[in-house]
Amino acid sequence: MDSSYPYLMPKAYANMGDNIPSVLSDTIGTIFRAECQVLRSLSHWSGGILETERSIHEAYINVIQDSKYFLYIENQFFITQPSGEKNVFNGIADALYYRILKAYREKAPYHVYVVLPLLPAFEGELGTGTGTCIQAITYWNYKSICRGSTSLYQRLSKIIKDPSLYISFCGLRTYGMLQDKIVTELVYVHSKLLIADDQVAIIGSANINDRSLLGRRDSEMAIIIKDTHFLDKEKGRPHDAGKFCYSLRNAIFREHLGLMSNSEADIPLRDPSSKSFSDGVWMKTAVGNTRIYEEVFHCLPSDKMLSFRDLRDYQMLPTLADSDPEQARRRLKDIRGYLVVFPFFFLCKEKLALTLSTKERYLPISVWT
């Protein structure tokens, strides 16, 4: 045992799998056997240990580097920069960048699916004095994803003509009735999940940002799960699929794509690395849903809102939901699941970074990253 780390040790290891309380075994459904390891972000101030532990960060990097076919990432934030940047230090961006370049140079099928909140959950209204915090997080997300020379998408585009062949960013949205009126709202993604190749998953509390991953800041916990039992080979699946990771990823994709009631839905889901799935199913669904939502509701955020003025003007236009509710309902019947496109150009003409005129500017940058 390493004396640097405090451990809670079980009284015995024998027959641990046979001692699941009946109240749990009766309610949790299918049980899968897998190798599991607890991961942490912990340091002296948060856990009393002598050496800072960043095993969640290390596991993310290792799983990304070792992935062969695809990655699915669902996270509340995406704040990461290349090595050498002075304000953000986690290595997620570099790990994704080099793994995608490897697939490109080898001409191998590979795809990264990223699902994020369409907007951060901070109070305030964009384009007003109350929106400083939400704009600050939006700035760092876009700086990491697609804006500026250090963003992942811009770095890839210098070598790969169309990075969307290898990585896609999406969000989630839904609609319903409120006091007899059709309304919509984004689905706020709060998950912290990574699935690689239907064989490995990391599930926990850590966001993709320095606060969660560096170890010396927020304390976090996660579990890395490696499948030890695999499904039989099936048509359309070019790789071995672990029973747990495949079932989890398949359930998530079915929900996002609106395929829950379709018994044949898992057939196109078997190979997420293929272009026929990434373009023909995933992005086709996201693009179709996005168009309908914009037509019916003039949703925020949108690629049609390049500036604060665009935002105000666009939201002042009459919506189909208001002018013709019956037609709006007919259009919404074509919505499939919850998946929508993450808008790369939303407020791209505005400076969203904190300015000297705001009180939040005098907080350390680490508060936002």
Higher pLDDT, 123 or 281: 281
Amino acid at 360: E
337-365 residue pLDDT tens: 999 999 999 999 999 988 877 888 888 88
Mean pLDDT of the chain: 90
- Rounded to an integer, what distance in angstroms lies between the CA atom of residue 100 and that of residue 77? 20
**pLDDT computed for residue 328 by the predictor:** 95
Residue 352: exposed, middle, or buried by beta-carbon count in 10 A (0-12, 13-18, 19+)? buried
Grade residue 7 by pLDDT with cuts at 50, 70 and 90.
low
- Rounded to an integer, what distance in angstroms lies between the CA atom of residue 294 and that of residue 167? 24
| Pairing outcome for strands 34-42 and 220-227 | antiparallel
- Rounded to an integer, what distance in angstroms lies between the CA atom of residue 115 and that of residue 1? 39
Span 8-19, average pLDDT: 61
235-255 residue pLDDT tens: 667 788 999 999 999 999 999
- Rounded to an integer, what distance in angstroms lies between the CA atom of residue 76 and that of residue 193? 10
For residue 174, is pLDDT > 80?
yes
Alpha carbon of 207 to those of 68, 290, 369: distances in Å? 23, 26, 10
Token readout for 293 is 């939502």
List Cβ neighbours of 65 (8 Å cut-off, separation of 6 or more). Answer: 95, 98, 99
294-338 residue pLDDT tens: 999 999 999 999 999 999 999 899 999 999 999 999 999 999 999
b/e per residue 279-305 (b: at least 16 CB within 10 A): eebbbebbebbbebbbbbbbbbbbebb
**pLDDT computed for residue 1 by the predictor:** 46
List Cβ neighbours of 33 (8 Å cut-off, separation of 6 or more). Answer: 17, 228, 229
Span 267-292, average pLDDT: 93
Alpha carbon of 77 to those of 101, 120, 295: distances in Å? 23, 8, 28
Grade residue 3 by pLDDT with cuts at 50, 70 and 90.
low
Instruction: State the first-to-last Cα distance of the chain, in angstroms, to the nearest integer.
Output: 34
User: Phi/psi of residue 304, each to 5°?
Assistant: -85, -5
CB atoms closer than 10 angstroms to residue 85: 12
For residue 264, is pLDDT > 80?
no
Length of the chain measured in residues: 369
184-218 residue pLDDT tens: 999 999 999 999 999 999 999 999 999 999 999 99
- Rounded to an integer, what distance in angstroms lies between the CA atom of residue 165 and that of residue 184? 30
Q: Which residue has the tokens 């794509």?
A: 257
- Rounded to an integer, what distance in angstroms lies between the CA atom of residue 139 and that of residue 124? 15
